[in-house]
Amino acid sequence: MNLQLQDKVVLVTGGSKGIGQGIVRSFLAEGSRVANVNRSEAEGRGLEAEYAAKGQDCCFIQGDLSDVDACRQAVAATLERFGRIDVLVNNAGVNDGVGLDAGPDAFVESLRRNLVHVYAMTHFAVAALKDSRGVIINIGSKVSVTGQGGTSGYAAAKGGINAMTREWALDLAEAGVRVNAVIPAETWTPLYENWLNTMPDPAASRRNIERMIPLGHRFTTVEEIADMVVFLASPRSSHTSGQIIFVDGGYTHFDRKYTASSAD
Query: Strand pairing partners for 184?
Result: 247
**More confidently predicted of 253 and 33:** 33
Choices 3.40.50.10470, 3.40.50.720, 3.30.70.1350, 3.40.50.620: CATH for 9-188+222-254? 3.40.50.720
The vertex-249 CA angle with 166 and 204, nearest 5°, equals: 130
Q: Is the dihedral of CA 29, 34, 40, 41 positive or negative?
A: positive
Query: pLDDT of 149-176, one tens digit each?
Result: 999 999 999 999 999 999 999 999 999 9
Question: What local confidence, expressed as pLDDT, does residue 262 receive?
Answer: 58
* E strand map for the chain: 9-13, 33-38, 58-62, 87-90, 135-139, 178-184, 187-188, 220-221, 244-247
Burial of 197 (0-12, 13-18, 19+ CB in 10 A): exposed
Instruction: Give the span between the Cα atoms of 71 and 189, in whole angstroms.
Output: 25
Q: Is 192 a catalytic residue?
A: no
Question: What local confidence, expressed as pLDDT, does residue 2 receive?
Answer: 86
CB of 8 closer than 8 Å to CB of 33: yes
Catalytic entry in 51, 119, 154, 258: 154
Query: Strand pairing partners for 13?
Result: 37
The residue among 89, 98, 102, 79 whose CA lies nearest residue 14 is 89
Question: What local confidence, expressed as pLDDT, does residue 3 receive?
Answer: 95
Instruction: Give the span between the Cα atoms of 236 and 45, in whole angstroms.
Output: 32
Query: pLDDT of 91-150, one tens digit each?
Result: 999 999 999 999 999 999 999 999 999 999 999 999 999 999 999 999 999 999 998 899
pLDDT-derived band at 257 (thresholds 50, 70, 90) equals low
Query: pLDDT of 4-42, one tens digit each?
Result: 999 999 999 999 999 999 999 999 999 999 999 999 999
Burial of 1 (0-12, 13-18, 19+ CB in 10 A): exposed
Residue 204, pLDDT > 60, answer: yes
Arithmetic mean of pLDDT, 35-51: 95
CB of 41 closer than 8 Å to CB of 90: no
Burial of 152 (0-12, 13-18, 19+ CB in 10 A): buried
